[in-house]
Amino acid sequence: MIQLNGIEVRFGDFTALKNINIHVKEGQFYTFLGPSGCGKTTTLRTITGFIEPAAGTVKVKGKDITHLPVEKRNIGMVFQNYALFPTMSVYENIAFGLRVKKVNKTEMDQRVKEMAAKVDLTEQQLARKVAELSGGQQQRVAIARALVNNPEIICLDEPLSNLDAKLRVQLREELKEMQAKFGITTVYVTHDQEEALTLSDCIAVFNKGFIEQIGTPNEIYSQSKTEFVCNFIGDINRLSPSTVSQIAAQTGRQFNPEASTYVRLERIHVNSTRDEGRAIFQGKVTGNEYFGLYIKYQLEFEGQTLKCIDKNDGRQYLRKGDTVEISIDPSDLMVY
């Protein structure tokens, strides 16, 4: 559906994107994930046409749109702050694109109302000014405005970043449902790994204008290809060379103690039944943080500090100073 081939974007002397190659399939929820300034929004704006690349091509359904002006691309976009026109009502905001295309009044009215109903906006809300709506309602208006023109693709630029935590989770779910309902190819930009993992069919992880890894959420999380991706996605422990050597000695597996070796928090087990092939250490609890759903412990053994999380099933609550048995499966280690 969307093909970015060898995209390069420069701002003066600064190269913002270098050799970006992406293939988004039809109907896919594709996320650009990365820290601030990594180039994810620049890539999105290259697709929508706000930025013209210095090199490379942008193709939609095989048609080269690299130099097509933004207003002729028919790619819907939802902006970070929604960019709703403050002087217009909700109705006028949604109808804006149809008015530009000189759609006749009856059809426009019908399409606006249909789209409003699809995104759960009432007729009363259509008459209101956008400033009178809540954050969630504003997001729905922005989505309706982007979709009413029947675009082939919709791009969303961090649409949840300005909302509070609870609303963010709620709207994330609504967004996923809506995407499934419309079945539209979606390109989503976020710096929030949790958002990317829960929403996406495919994720491209950006860093300093390059793509570090493209894959499904599970691939990105469990088989991080680079040290950056491994560090960026989720919380993680870096193991000291002596710990790595001990794991190797206990399990008979070969590891390079000089390499950077990581293990995710939930892959470290505390006081669990002994499975074969796991390395076992005797350690001490040096801290705990209670999260309700789970408890995060800080552990120490032979000079190595580790963090781990334990499901809060009510059976075990460790206190500072408790002695524990820590087990690590060597196949959970990520080595770079």
Q: Which residues contribute to the site for another protein (CB under 8 A)? A: 11, 41-42, 45, 48, 50-52, 69-77, 79-81, 83-88, 96-97, 100-101, 145-146, 149
Closest distance to another protein from the beta carbon of 206 (Å): 15
> Which element (helix H / strand E) includes 118?
helix 105-118
Residues 6+ apart with CB under 8 A from 28: 1, 185, 186, 201, 202
Nearest to 203 by CA among 167, 234, 177: 234
**Helix crossing, 90-100 with 135-147: angle to 10°?**
20
Rounded distance between C-alpha atoms, residue 252 and residue 267, angstroms: 19
Contact 89, 128 (CB under 8 A): yes
Instruction: Lay out the sheet containing 279-290: strands in order across.
Output: 268-270, 323-328, 279-290, 294-301, 304-311
Residues whose CB is less than 8 angstroms from the CB of residue 24 and which lie 6 or more positions away in sequence, other chains included: 1, 2, 3, 30, 153, 185, 187, 202
Nearest 10 degrees: Cα torsion 233, 185, 138, 130: 140
User: φ and ψ at 23, to 5 degrees?
Assistant: -130, 110
